[in-house]
Every structure is written in C-alpha cells, then in structure tokens.
Amino acid sequence: MFLFGLNQNVHGFDPLILLIMALAVEAYVGEMRFLFSRVRHPVAIIGGLVDTLERKLNRENRSQMDRAVRGALVVVFVVLVCAAAGWGVAWFGQNYPFGWIVEMLLLVTLIAQRGLYDAVRRVGTALGGSGLDAGREEVANIVGRDPYQLDEAGVARAAIESAAENFNDAVVAPVFWYVLFGFPGILIYKAINTMDSMIGHKTERYRAFGMTAARLDDVVNLIPARLSGLFIVLGSVFVPTANPLRALKVMVRDAGKHRSPNAGWPEGAMAGALDLALAGPRKYRESQVNDPWIGDGRARATPKDIRRALYLFATACLVNGLAVAGLTIFRLD
C-alpha cells in the first residue's frame, strides 16, 4: 500500500485491518441515514462542488474545445482537492488517539454493500408484493432508464443489472483503490465516479465538458470491473441455483458486447451464473439504446430472480472481504 509518506503510528490501525472493520460495520448498519440526516454525506459534498463548477464553466455559448478543456480542469481540480482531503483524514487517523475511528466511519460511508443490497431488495419486494407500478417507483431510484417503459421483466432485469454493475462501483472498486492508496485512493475514486455520473453523459450539454471525467472513470474501473466479474464467478460456487462455469463462459464471451468497457464483466458473470439474458435494448429518458443481449438465458426475469441475484451479490461481497483478509494476513505475516 502506498500511503503518500504516512508512517504507522502507535495511535493508528493498519489500514487493511481498518478496511475489514469498515466492511463488517457497513454490512450491518448500511447507509447510516441517521447520521446523514444531520450532516452532508461526503459524496454529496463532492457532488455539490462539481455542480457549482459545472454551472459556472459549462456555458452553452462556448466552443466544444473550450468546454472540453474546462471540463478537464474541473476533473484535475476536484481530484487534487480530494487527494488533499484524503491525505488529511489518513494522517489524522494515524497520528491522533481514536483518529482511526473517524477514518473508519468515513470508509463505511464510501462503501455500499448493504445500501445496494437494500435498494435492490426493495425493488423485488415491491414488484412481487405490490405490483408493477410499485416496482417501477423503486427501480427508478437505482437506474437511469425510463421506468414507465418497463414491464415486470424489464423492472426485474434493471434491478439485477444494477446489482451486478454497482457491485463494482460501490464495493470492489472503492476497496481496490483503498488497498492501493489508502483513504486518498478511495476518496479520489469516489470523486471520479461521482463526476462521471453527473457530467459524463453523451448529451449535447455534457459530451465535451464531461469527456475527461467519463474516460478517467473507464480507466480507474478497468481492473476492478474484471475483479468484480471474477468475484461473482467465485461467489456462484456457493450459491445452489447458480452455475460458476456458465458464469465464467458468458463473462469472457459477452463482456465486450456492453457499450461500457467495464460494466459487461460483472453483468456477464451475473447473467451466466443465473442463466439470464441482461442488457439488450432499453429506453433511457434521453434516448433509446439497442444493445445486444448478454447471456443465453431467459430475458423474462422475475422477482424470484432478483432474490437469486441478491444471494449471489451477498456471496460475492463475502469473497471480496475474504480477498482483503487474505491480503492482510499476507502483509502482516
């Protein structure tokens, strides 16, 4: 782990042990809404900064080149701010008694195993219990596509795809960058991911301004996305209704069919493991996407398939945690 000059101190925990503690706490308490009803979430703070800079710099009367340069400068500025803030948190955690508690609680807020699980479960519960309209309302909270264009199978597929793709964005990638660079690494990753979700769109307004954010997000997810797919494959070994060999086969064969260079890996593994067809044609609020299907199975997904996907997601999260534990043992040996 590269800690940017930070040295271990008697007041601090080993960062990997801190990470294991944070994964365990987040898996139990989830989003900690009670805390963020009183203070702003770190990602919300980053998002507010990005929104302010975007409104000031991304003017429609400027040329595409000008907007692209200004967008790149916004990315550099936000990354530097988060690097400095992350280093400050890590230094505080290593040099003050109980400072590690602050770092661990912030880590809990930047990882979303339980939060994602609960969000996807609410879709399945609503769809299976209250019907299509309730399922559409819940799925609208986790996907960008138009929920009112989705039938029951479309809602179920959207929830399952969200569980697979966000397994990378919300769990594996944050952990990966923390393992490499400590708290600065995870905070920079979340900043890049937030910028991509806010300005990395191929619309007229954001195509030039958000280009750097979108490309950088592709780069920082390159390795974690493939690890995410591998963890889903390994997790499927322990899920009675999943098939690990098919998960591996579909992941390797179909990952490149996705329009994202990264999302196809966990989605392909999930589709193969559960014998489903994911991705495919879908309608977003801005446009229609006619992508090929990923997987050879059923496209008519059901609430039961959401429950199967959640079982696999939870198992993959355990695999991710065990990988961190293995690194910790190896590092401390």
Whether residue 275 contacts residue 243, with contact meaning beta carbons closer than 8 Å, is answered with yes
Q: Which amino acid is at 297?
A: G
What is the C-alpha R_g of the chain? Answer: 20
pLDDT tier for residue 253 given thresholds of 50, 70 and 90: very high
30: left (phi over 0), alpha (psi -120 to 50) or beta: left
Q: 294 - beta bridge partners? A: 278
Residue 317 makes CB contacts below 8 A (sequence gap 6+) with: 27, 113, 167, 171
Of 100, 88, 75, 82, the C-alpha closest to 11 is 100
Taking the C-alpha atoms of residue 226 and residue 272, their distance in angstroms, rounded to an integer, is: 15
pTM: 0.93
Judged against a pLDDT cut of 90, whether residue 286 lies above it is answered with no
Show the beta-strand stretches assigned E in the chain. Answer: 278-283, 288-294
| Cα–Cα distance for residue pair 215/193, rounded to 1 Å | 11
Answer positive or negative: Cα dihedral of 109, 187, 143, 286: positive
Cα angle, residue 289 at apex, residues 168 and 281 outer, rounded to 5°: 85
Q: Minimal CA–CA distance to 81: which of 44, 46, 41, 43?
A: 46
For residues 68 and 76, what is the distance between their CA atoms, to the nearest angstrom? Answer: 13
Handedness of CA 228, 234, 237, 239 (dihedral sign): negative
Q: Which tens digit of pLDDT belongs to each residue from 60-106?
A: 889 999 999 999 999 999 999 999 999 999 999 888 888 899 999 99
Q: How far out from the chain centre does Cα 57 lie?
A: 27
Per residue in 103-162, pLDDT (tens digit) is 999 999 999 999 999 999 999 999 999 999 999 999 999 887 788 888 999 999 999 999
- Whether the pLDDT of residue 2 is over 90: the answer is no
Mapped onto helix, strand or coil, the DSSP state of residue 331 is helix
3-class secondary-structure state, position 140: coil
Q: What is the pLDDT of residues 13-61, one digit of tens each?
A: 788 999 999 999 999 988 776 677 677 889 999 999 999 999 999 998 8
| Share above pLDDT 90 across residues of the chain, in percent, rounded to a whole number | 76
Average pLDDT, the chain: 91
Residue 39 pLDDT:
79
Closest-CA residue to 45 (of 84, 78, 73): 78
Q: Has residue 1 got a pLDDT over 80?
A: no
Query: What would the pLDDT profile of 185-198 be if each residue is shown by its tens digit?
Result: 999 999 999 999 99
Question: Hey, how many other C-beta atoms are within 10 angstroms of the C-beta on 62?
Answer: 15
Return the percentage of the chain with pLDDT > 70, whole number.
92
What is the per-residue pLDDT for 287?
A: 63
In this predicted structure, what is the pLDDT of residue 318?
A: 97
